[in-house]
Amino acid sequence: MKSGQRRAWVDIDLGALQRNALAIAARAGVPLLPMVKADAYGLGAIAVARALEPTNPWGYGVATVEEGAELREAGITRRIIVFTPLAAEDFRDAGTLSLTPALSHADRIQAWANGGRAWHLAIDTGMSRAGVRWDRVDALHDTLLAFPPEGAFTHFHSADRANGSLEVQESRFRAAVATLPHRPTVLHTENGAAIEHRGRSPWDIARPGIFLYGVGCGGGLVPEPVVHLRGRVVDIRSLSDGETVSYLASYRAVGERRIATLSIGYADGLRRALSNRGSAIVHGVIAPIAGIVTMDMTMIDVTDVPSCNVGDVATLIGRAGGLALDVGAVAHTADISPYELLTGLRGRLHREYGAAE
């Protein structure tokens, strides 16, 4: 189906994606390990990885063996690190696919690395989610001596905030690395926010995620927008003063209003939290969402857009007509994180990929 006939879709600018990767790589001064987990934050892991290949990344980061398998089946041959801890029963498939697990328990390290396979040591410096605590790494000394990791890493919990926590975590990481029998070949700590804030990396690779997809943290390096969510106008009606829109009648017309119905709803990932709060761009005008976002349809007030007609396109995230509703701003309006907004874009939305450069 051509985009001119679609009810709702996401335009994904692969050229902007590439430029974001090159920009943050230049700032970091080290190779990238782009995070393409969660289907590349909802944008399609295969298309994203293929678009990033010309930027020569060190490898890719995923969360599950299944995500790694998808990339391998698509012909991606670079290193793929699985960052979520694997169960022992996942080792066989991970090995067959030449995936690199993040490990931190002696028994799993021995089970995996006994055949000489590469792995990375996960070190917990304050996230308290996974990995060996920074102050207990020496308990793994004999295991690490027998099965040295290719890499070691930690994860910052608040890299987008200038609250000193990054420095604390990095100090812990350095102390932990100093206790290892041998320095791993690859050390990594930084997500995109850390690189934005401090520039050149002191480590071997950097792990940008949402920055690649167009969301910065105000650290001075501004990414280009990549995601543009569109919905088509499928109905228009006029309301008289006092008439209501959508469930619970939470929108009540003040004076005569013109309401357009879009063929997109929360089943597509347009958050219900945007009800009576979010907006859309139609013909270069910001049109507010009117009433509660429903499962398959959303209503907007187009009283100030007299040229709006059935078949027109409304933009709910991204740029159109010289205006922008960027991911971060829309997420803020919905009181959710931009990560949650992007990964919530659902499979029934068609993806239109702009050509990579």
Q: What is the pLDDT of residues 314-338, one digit of tens each?
A: 999 999 989 999 999 999 999 999 9
Confidence grade of residue 356 (pLDDT, cut at 50, 70, 90): low
Q: DSSP strand E in the chain: where?
A: 8-13, 59-62, 79-82, 100-103, 120-124, 132-133, 151-153, 186-188, 227-239, 244-245, 251-252, 257-262, 279-282, 285-288, 298-301, 313-320, 323-325, 350-354
Distance CA 26, CA 14 (A): 18
> Are residues 304 and 250 both part of a single domain?
yes
> Are residues 233 and 194 both part of a single domain?
no
Q: What is the pLDDT of residues 188-200, one digit of tens each?
A: 999 999 999 988 9
Q: What is the pLDDT of residues 23-37, one digit of tens each?
A: 999 999 999 999 999
> Are residues 156 and 231 both part of a single domain?
no
Percentage of the residues of the chain whose pLDDT score is greater than 70: 98
Residue at 210 is within a domain: no
Residue at 16 is within a domain: no
Positions marked active-site: 37, 247
CA angle 89, 146, 62 (to 5 degrees): 40
pTM: 0.95
CA quadruple 94, 100, 101, 107: dihedral positive or negative? positive
Q: CATH code at 172?
A: 3.20.20.10
> Are residues 275 and 327 both part of a single domain?
yes
pLDDT at 218: 83
CA angle 149, 154, 157 (to 5 degrees): 165
Confidence grade of residue 162 (pLDDT, cut at 50, 70, 90): confident
Q: DSSP strand E in 284-349: where?
A: 285-288, 298-301, 313-320, 323-325
Could you tell me which residues come within 8 angstroms of residue 180 by beta carbon, excluding any fewer than 6 positions away? 121, 137, 144, 152
> Are residues 245 and 196 both part of a single domain?
no
Average pLDDT, the chain: 96
> Are residues 65 and 189 both part of a single domain?
yes
- Range 290-299 average pLDDT: 98
Residue at 144 is within a domain: yes
Residue 39 φ/ψ region, left for φ over 0, alpha for ψ in the -120 to 50 degree band, beta for the rest? left
> Are residues 63 and 196 both part of a single domain?
yes
- The partner residues of 235 in beta bridges, in order of sequence, read 261
Confirm if 80 and 150 have CB atoms less than 8 A apart.
no
DSSP 16: H
How many folded domains does the chain comprise? 2
Whole-number Cα distances in Å, 202 to 34, 110, 115, 170, 174: 18, 30, 31, 11, 11
Could you tell me which residues come within 8 angstroms of residue 152 by beta carbon, excluding any fewer than 6 positions away? 120, 121, 122, 123, 176, 177, 180, 184, 186, 187
> Are residues 292 and 260 both part of a single domain?
yes
Confidence grade of residue 248 (pLDDT, cut at 50, 70, 90): very high
Distance CA 308, CA 320 (A): 14
